[in-house]
Amino acid sequence: MLDPEGLRRAQAAGKAVTVGYGGFRYVQFLHDFENVPRGTALFEDGAAVIYGYPAIGRLLALETGLARQFAAPFWMEEKVDGFNVRICRVHGRTIALTRGGYVCPFTTDRLADLMDTAVFEAEPDLVLCAEVAGPENPYCDSAPPFIEADVRLFVFDLCRRNSPRFLSGAEKQALLRRYGLPSVASFGRFEIGDLPRIRALLRQLDAEGREGAVFKEDSHRQRRAKYYTASGQLAAIASHVHSLMDLPPEYFTGRVLGLALAAEELGLPCPGELRQRLGAAWLDGLQEAIRRQRRDGRIARRFRCRFRSPDNARELIHQLKRTAGHHLQIVPGELYQEGELWRLEFERIYPSLNGLLSDWLAGRVVLD
């Protein structure tokens, strides 16, 4: 899939660059290029390639969607609301790469708390595709309700170095069990005819405030599709209202429409409750933003996470600043020892919403 000639073309086109993160020099794919997904990392002059995790399409209608996407039975797994990493062993060290192909200072630091890395003694070329989720994560403003503190790790796919292909569902389950790896809930293998059971599972996930499910065709085609519960759509709105002015408009309007479809699809019984939750998803964060703006003159959200090494905490701040772009500012807060770990606090500041609200609160008019 990735030959030296393709690599040269990708580098010449600016799609792949040589970088140095986490003590490694490697080639990072900043964008999709030909068949190589964004986030792909080449270590050791191409001798070890960790392919990027591909984008998964979102279904808005289950019956037609599953029928259209899949030609064979499929696995159904929980979609956990966190951030995507690929965990692998390089030069004898176990590291986690972010979706974009950065060595993640946070996940790499905490790996030993999140899983038993002994799996890599027996299977050094394994790549674990996993979600890291919880209220004390440095990237996402939302977390599954069943994780009360810190973060947890959930493996959802396995592949091997130098291959973009995932292991089959059966191989994956066998390895997960053999090595006792933490993983997302798997609900089993289904066919289109099982739609009532699938809907019942999604209703249960929704009632528990969980984000959704991923469906994976049990075939060589490796087709996948995801589905958000109403809770998942609502969390996506609530956790992004601070970026209201920066995200593409379709982000919000698409989620509201998705929510309306999910409510119908899952037969959610109480329209009043759904209205209430959608109103809260929009308003709670914006009302807090207005209060912050008036009180502090700036709109910020506070993040907290824990590290084994304070150096990794500092490295995370560097990385967040490097990747934040103009629509986000990172303001480091305290870094202090707490038991055996180091506690990092920092704030994300949202300049666009801040600028708009400060104009409006200063009495400027809007013409529309």
Q: Residue numbers of the site for a second copy (CB under 8 A)?
A: 55, 57-61, 63-69, 225, 244-245, 248-254, 256-257, 259-261, 263-264, 271-272, 274-280, 282-283, 286-287, 289-290, 356-357, 360-368
Which one, 30 or 256, has the nearer CB to a second copy? 256
Q: Tokens in use for 39?
A: 């986030």
Query: To the nearest whole angstrom, how small is the minimum distance from the Cβ of residue 82 to a second copy?
Result: 17
**Rounded alpha-carbon distances, angstroms, from residue 243 to 1, 15, 109:** 37, 27, 29
Beta bridge partners of 348: 301, 330
Query: To the nearest whole angstrom, how small is the minimum distance from the Cβ of residue 22 to a second copy?
Result: 29
Query: To the nearest whole angstrom, how small is the minimum distance from the Cβ of residue 290 to a second copy?
Result: 6
Which one, 38 or 110, has the nearer CB to a second copy? 38
Q: Are 134 and 150 in contact (CB under 8 A)?
A: yes
Cα(258)–Cα(253) distance, integer angstroms: 8
Query: To the nearest whole angstrom, how small is the minimum distance from the Cβ of residue 366 to a second copy?
Result: 5
Beta bridge partners of 78: 213
Largest Cα span, the chain: 65
**Rounded alpha-carbon distances, angstroms, from residue 110 to 157, 160, 188:** 20, 22, 30
CB atoms within 10 A of CB 268: 18
> Which residue has 């977390």 as its token pair?
143
Which one, 299 or 316, has the nearer CB to a second copy? 299
Q: Tokens in use for 83?
A: 């951030």
Backbone angles phi, psi at 330, to 5 degrees: -110, 125
Query: To the nearest whole angstrom, how small is the minimum distance from the Cβ of residue 352 to a second copy?
Result: 11
Which one, 10 or 281, has the nearer CB to a second copy? 281
Query: Residues 6 or more apart from 127 whose CB is under 8 A from it?
Result: 50, 51, 86, 87, 88, 158, 159, 160, 161
Query: To the nearest whole angstrom, how small is the minimum distance from the Cβ of residue 96 to a second copy?
Result: 24
Query: To the nearest whole angstrom, how small is the minimum distance from the Cβ of residue 130 to a second copy?
Result: 21
Cα(20)–Cα(37) distance, integer angstroms: 20
Query: To the nearest whole angstrom, how small is the minimum distance from the Cβ of residue 123 to a second copy?
Result: 31
| Burial track 197-223 (b if 16+ CB lie within 10 A, e otherwise) | ebeebbbebbeebbbbbbbbbbeeeeb
Which one, 59 or 119, has the nearer CB to a second copy? 59
**Rounded alpha-carbon distances, angstroms, from residue 22 to 198, 260, 307:** 42, 44, 15
Which one, 109 or 265, has the nearer CB to a second copy? 265
Query: To the nearest whole angstrom, how small is the minimum distance from the Cβ of residue 170 to a second copy?
Result: 25
Which one, 139 or 228, has the nearer CB to a second copy? 228
Which one, 13 or 361, has the nearer CB to a second copy? 361
Q: Tokens in use for 74?
A: 């499929």
E strand or H helix at 214? strand 212-217
Query: To the nearest whole angstrom, how small is the minimum distance from the Cβ of residue 71 to a second copy?
Result: 13
Query: DSSP string spanning 89-156?
Result: EETTEEEEEETTS-B-HHHHHHHHHHS-TTHHHH-TTEEEEEEEESTT-SS-S---TT--SS-EEEEE
Which one, 49 or 140, has the nearer CB to a second copy? 140
Which one, 30 or 274, has the nearer CB to a second copy? 274
